[in-house]
Structure formats: C-alpha cells, structure tokens
Amino acid sequence: MPKKALPFQSLAPRRVLVTGASGFLGGNLIQRLLEQGCAVKGLCRRPQPKLEALGVEMFYVDLADTKSVRNACQEADTVFHTAAKVGIWGKYREFHDANVIGTQSIVNGCRDFEVGKLIYTSTPSVVFNAEAISGANESLPYGDGIPCHYPTTKVIAEKAVLAAHGLPPGNLKTVALRPHLIWGPGDPNLIPRVLDRGRKGRLRIVGEGNNWVDLSYIDNIVDAHLSAEAALDKLENNPGGKAYFISNDEPVLLWEWIDDLLNRNGISTIKKKISLAQAQRAGAVLELIWKALRLRGEPPLTRFVASELAKDHWFDIAAAKRDLDYHPRVSMAEGMNRLLQASALASD
C-alpha cells in the first residue's frame, strides 16, 4: 500500500518569507521550501552567503528595525516567523525589542501587504508555572510571573499573533506552534552545550533524576510548520488563531537520555546530584551576583533552569495531530542514529 502523502506535499510553489534564516529551524525550513520550488526570502542579522548562493533573497536587519521588518513581508504568500531572541538571561528591553516589537512588525507587514498566512514559532515555556507538566494540552493557561524574560516576551508575542487571525484587509490566517527542545544534526545549542559540559565534568542531575521531558527532532518540526501552513486552508478543524504543542510524542527520562548521549560520544555519564531546592537557591544567588556585578554571559544556573531540569515537561499533542495532520516521522531512536552519523561524517 502506498504511503499517505503528507498534507504539505500538495502545496504549490509559493512566495515565502522565513525570519530567523540563520537559525537552526529557519535554515532547515528554508532548505525544505527550496526543495518544494518556492521563491524564498530570508531575514536575519548575519550575512548568509550559502543561502544567497541558493537563490534566497536575504534581508539583513535587526528585529527591532520596525520599518525594515515590516517591508520584508511584501509579496509573500506565507511568512514563517521563527526568529527570536532566546536565552535564560539578559536585559528585558533586548528580549522585548526582538520578540514583541519584532513580532508586531511582522504582523503589521502581513496585514499591510495582505500576506495570506503567518506561522509563528512560539515555545512551551509560555505556560511555565514552576510545576511539573505531565501530558497537559493547550487548555493550560499562560504562565504568570515567569522568572525569565524569554518566555515572558514570547507570551506577549504569541497573543499578538493569535489575535491577528482574520485581520483585514486580506483576512490574515495565523497559527502558533510550540515545539519543545529542538535537536538534531547541526543543532548549535542543546546538543553542543550538553556535550561541552559533559566533557568538562560540569553536569549535575537536578532533583531525583526521574523527570520525563519532550524533545523534538528537527525534521519533524519542519514538517509541523509546513503542515500548519497547509492546515490553514482546511474547512474542518481549522487551526486559525490557535496555538499547538509540538514534539516527537515520545517523552524520555531526561537524565537517562543525556547519559546515553554522553556515552555514545565517549563521555563519562553523570554521577553527581543536586536537589531541586539546592539548585534553586544556587540559581537565585547566581542571578543576584550577575545583576549586581553586571557580568557578561549567562549564569551557569537560574531558578527557571533548575525547575526545567528537575520537573516533568511533556505535552499531549492530540490537537496537532487532529488539526494540523502532524505526525512525527523521525523517532527519537532514529534521530539519535542520524545525529551520530552526521557527527562521524563531520569528524572524518
């Protein structure tokens, strides 16, 4: 029996803008769109000669540049807004400028130039509540008093995108996706950080070490964005104006998964533990030191990170399966194999 075609495979070539073109998700999404024959524009700050060589029209602007960001939306059928300032530390104004002002500029551009669809990359951290989250769905409310500027500003941005659904004059269609911990070959953040700290012996199990978390393989998250774009044309279960959790739908024991990753890379597994209470106290002290001394970079630990490392964070993605026709194609096991194969090729 032939395999069922994925919903986004029926989309015709179209004019697309991808913000965050230099990022892990944005770059992989652009590659897939080019394979579909789309005319692609990219927006980011740093020059991307490889994308230019592939025929991508690049806009090198800061997200806080409201006029330039808005104008980049001209002549686009779809905008994928993946760009954001991420991190656990920094000045609120910088996060606000990128994540709130930048997103509003994208919304304004989509409205003014009558873009058909806006797919926004949000984060599950918008529902952070300092508690374990085990199998929650989209009925979970936004977090209140989140001790981290990134999710705080993403809450504001996500609300703006969802409120923009149906905006005249073009009746813009919008949807927000909340992928959890994206990883895979080429990941510049999650995997390299874990491996670097593992090699330096700086990893500690926070809490009891039995917390379950969702992770999301990069190819699946690209699929989710394209599926969401296609689903905005559905007559039933249309996702317009809604947010969706996205993952591999295979929660893992976080510290067991990290140990396996370390072991496969010839690094000793984690032996030391720290309780959640100790970690949160340490995080609070480090936050005070970084603020008082205005130190550069991120503290090695914060209260937000301590909670994320010690508690369950996995989600029910039934709504994404139903409304977006999203079904993860690459399993966690296959993803790990692909990661190791890519690492082996890179080291040859």
Domains of the chain from N-terminus onward: 15-182+214-250+313-329 (3.40.50.720)
- Tell me the average pLDDT across 45-55: 96
Average pLDDT, the chain: 95
d(CA 221, CA 225): 6
DSSP string, 78-117: EEEE------S-S-HHHHIIIIIIHHHHHHHHHHHTT-SE
- Tell me the average pLDDT across 33-42: 97
Confidence of residue 3 (pLDDT cuts 50, 70, 90): low
- Tell me the average pLDDT across 271-277: 95
Give yes or no for a contact between 172 and 164, defined as CB atoms under 8 angstroms apart: yes
Write the pLDDT tens digit of every residue in 128-164. 999 999 999 999 999 998 999 999 999 999 999 999 9
Confidence of residue 2 (pLDDT cuts 50, 70, 90): very low
Which one, of 336, 314, 301, 332, lies nearest residue 211 by Cα?
314
Would the pLDDT of 1 be above 80?
Answer: no
- Residues paired with residue 134 on neighbouring β-strands, in sequence order: 314
What are the strands, taking DSSP E only, across 73-220?
78-81, 117-121, 133-136, 173-179, 182-183, 205-206, 212-213, 216-217
Give yes or no for a contact between 57 and 38, defined as CB atoms under 8 angstroms apart: no
Strand 212-213, strand 252-253: pairing: antiparallel
Would the pLDDT of 291 be above 90?
Answer: yes
Write the pLDDT tens digit of every residue in 202-235. 999 999 999 999 999 999 999 999 999 999 999 9
- Tell me the average pLDDT across 301-309: 95
Q: Residue 170 has which token pair?
A: 């073009």
- Residues paired with residue 248 on neighbouring β-strands, in sequence order: none
Give yes or no for a contact between 41 and 51, defined as CB atoms under 8 angstroms apart: no
Q: Which residues of 292-306 are buried (b: 16+ CB within 10 A; e: fewer)?
A: eeeeeeebebbbbbb
- Residues paired with residue 205 on neighbouring β-strands, in sequence order: 273
- Tell me the average pLDDT across 82-92: 96
* Structure-token match 């080019």, residue found: 34
* Percent of residues, the chain, with pLDDT higher than 90: 93
pTM of the model: 0.96
- Tell me the average pLDDT across 28-48: 97
What are the strands, taking DSSP E only, across 254-315?
273-274, 313-315
Write the DSSP symbol of residue 12: P
Would the pLDDT of 342 be above 90?
Answer: yes
Note the pLDDT of residue 9.
73
Return the ∠ at Cα 62 (arms to 61 and 65), rounded to 5°: 90
d(CA 80, CA 78): 7
d(CA 276, CA 283): 10
Give yes or no for a contact between 322 and 237, defined as CB atoms under 8 angstroms apart: yes
Which one, of 325, 330, 331, 328, lies nearest residue 9 by Cα?
325
Would the pLDDT of 306 be above 90?
Answer: yes
Catalytic residue positions, numbered: 150
Note the pLDDT of residue 64.
96
The helix (H) or strand (E) run that includes residue 253 is strand 252-253
Write the DSSP symbol of residue 300: S
- Tell me the average pLDDT across 302-329: 97
SS3 208: coil
Note the pLDDT of residue 5.
65
Which one, of 32, 14, 18, lies nearest residue 219 by Cα?
32
d(CA 221, CA 29): 9
